[in-house]
Amino acid sequence: MNRRHLMALAGSGLLAPSVPRAQNFPDRPLRLIVPWPPGGSTDTVARLFQARLAEVLGRPIVIDNRGGASGATGAIEASRAPNDGSTWMLVYDTQATNETVMRLPFRTMEAFVPTTLVATGPLVMVAHQSTPYRNFQEVVDAAKRAPDTLNYATSGVGGLAHVSTTLLQQQGDFKIVHVPYRGGGPAVQDAVAGHVPLFMTNVVIVSQHIRSGVLRPLGVTTRGETRHVPNTRSFQQQGFGDFEAPTWWAMLGRAGTPEPLVRRMHEALHRVLNEPDVKNRIEEQGCDITAAGPEECARFIQSEITKWGRVITDNNIRADS
C-alpha cells in the first residue's frame, strides 16, 4: 500500500490513529467530590446530573461527600487526588472566598483546572414564618434598635452568603450575628424548625419551603427581581447601592489533567445540562444553567476571588469569625 493510499484512508477516517492511553478516562468509576454534606445545594445539583453524565461518559460516577470547613476539607482532598481524570469536584461559591478567608495548602487557580461553570443563581434572605419580619427594612430597623442580638444562619464562615451579608451590614450600618453551619443541609433544617430567625442562602435548598410559606423571602442578591423568588425585591432595589452577589456552582478537575479529558468532561456536561429534563429539574430548584466552558469558567472564578477577597480583607473576616 503506497503512501498516497495510506493518506487517503487516514483522511477518510478508515485508518484512524489509536487514542493514547493518557487521553482516556481511567477504566474505573469516576469520583466526583462534593465538598459539602448531603442535602445542601451542591449535593442536590450534583445528583440531578450524575446519572445522565455517567451514561454520556460511559463511566459510573460516584459522589463522595466531603463536608467541612465551608468546602475546604473536600477541596484539600481533591487537590491531592491523581490528575489522571479519575477525580473531579463540583464546587460552590466558597471556593473563591475561601482563598482569602483561610490558610489553604493550595491556590485554586494553580491546583485545579476550571472545566464548566455549571449554573448561577440568586442568594435570598429568608425569615421563619414565626418572626415579625415582612421585608428586609424591618430587619435593619430591628438590628439598629438592638445591635448584635438578631441571628442569621449561613452554610459556613466565609462563604458568599456570609461575605455578602457582611457587605450589606457595612452599606446599611447595622449589625446582625452570624451563625455558621457545616453546610446548607444542617442550616436549612434549623431555619425551617425556627431555631434561627434569618437564613441567607441560595434558593435551591429553600425553594420548597418558600412555596410552603414556612420561610418568608425578604430580599435577593440579583440586580433586580428574579423568577426564582417571585415578588421579592432585590437588595439593590431596597436601597443597597450597586449590590449584586450571585451564587454559583462549577466543575473543576485537578491541575495537570490531560486537556482532552477536560474538554471531554466539559462537552459531556454541557450536553447533559442542556437536555430539557436535566435542565428543568435543576432550574426549578432556583438557579440558571450556564454550562460555560473552561476559559469562561476560569475568568469568572478569578474575578470572584478578586472581588470578594477585597470585602473579606476590608472587614477582617477570618475562618474563626
Q: Cβ of 181: how many Cβ atoms within 10 Å?
A: 23
Count of domains observed in the chain? 2
Residues 81 and 99 in one domain: yes
Residues in Cβ contact with 189 at an 8 Å cutoff, skipping those fewer than 6 apart: 39
CA 200 – CA 220 distance, rounded (Å):
9
Residues 190 and 275 in one domain: no
CA 96 – CA 1 distance, rounded (Å):
57
Residues 133 and 107 in one domain: no
Mean pLDDT for the stretch of residues 121-128: 97
Residue 319 has a pLDDT of 82
Of 272, 273, 255, 283, the closest CA to residue 81 belongs to 255
Residues 150 and 188 in one domain: yes
CB-count exposure of residue 248 (10 Å: 0-12, 13-18, 19+): buried
Residue 70 has a pLDDT of 86
Residues 203 and 274 in one domain: no
Residues 153 and 288 in one domain: no
CA 193 – CA 170 distance, rounded (Å):
29
In the structure grid, which three cell numbers stand for residue 146, read together? 438592638
Mean pLDDT estimate for the chain:
91
Question: Is position 16 within any domain?
Answer: no
Residues 81 and 110 in one domain: yes
Residues 91 and 127 in one domain: no
Residues 251 and 292 in one domain: yes
Indicate whether 20 pLDDT > 90: no
In the structure grid, which three cell numbers stand for residue 72, read together? 475546604
- Sequence-ordered alpha helix ranges (H) in 174-228: 184-193, 207-212
CA 307 – CA 247 distance, rounded (Å):
13
Helix H or strand E segment including 139: helix 136-145
Per-residue pLDDT tens over the stretch 188-232: 999 999 999 999 999 988 999 999 999 999 999 999 999 999 999
Structural domain of 185 = 123-220
Residues 265 and 306 in one domain: yes
Among 31-35, 123-127, 146-150, 314-318, the minimum mean pLDDT is found in 314-318
Q: Which residue, chain included where needed, has cell 503512501?
A: 3
Residues 201 and 282 in one domain: no
CATH assignment at residue 253? 3.40.190.150
Q: Do the Cβ atoms of 36 and 155 come closer than 8 Å?
A: yes
CA 45 – CA 303 distance, rounded (Å):
23
Question: Is position 88 within any domain?
Answer: yes
Residues 170 and 117 in one domain: no
Among 34-38, 143-147, 148-152, 275-279, the minimum mean pLDDT is found in 34-38
CATH assignment at residue 128? 3.40.190.10
Per-residue pLDDT tens over the stretch 169-196: 999 999 999 999 988 889 999 999 999 9
Q: Do the Cβ atoms of 193 and 214 come closer than 8 Å?
A: no
Residue 318 has a pLDDT of 87
Question: Is position 65 within any domain?
Answer: yes
